[in-house]
């Protein structure tokens, strides 16, 4: 999986926002984000389909 520059920027912004109140929580959030993104890259069809993105049971 390749992160877009915007995705990296938004993740950094979110981590900084969380860290302003709780640095350990921000670290945990970032670690969880990377774990989930890695899982998504290995299993792209995991999770649930969002109804508005569903076309005939497949991703649009």
Distance CA 31, CA 24 (A): 11
Annotated domain spans of the chain: 1-42
What's the average model confidence in pLDDT over 33-53? Answer: 86
pLDDT tens-digit profile of 2-33?
899 999 999 999 999 999 999 999 999 999 99
Rounded to two decimals, what is the model's pTM? Answer: 0.72
For position 55, what pLDDT does the model report? 64
pLDDT for 45: 85
Q: Distance between CA 26 and CA 21 in Å, rounded? A: 9
So what's the pLDDT on residue 58? 54
Q: In terms of pLDDT, which residue wins out, 6 or 58?
A: 6
- Mean pLDDT, rounded, for 32-57: 82
């Amino acid at each position: 999986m390749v992160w877009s520059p915007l995705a990296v920027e938004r993740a950094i912004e979110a981590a900084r926002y969380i860290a302003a109140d709780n640095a350990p929580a921000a670290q945990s959030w970032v670690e969880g984000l990377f774990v989930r993104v890695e899982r998504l890259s290995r299993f792209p069809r995991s999770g649930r389909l969002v109804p508005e993105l569903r076309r005939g049971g497949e991703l649009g």
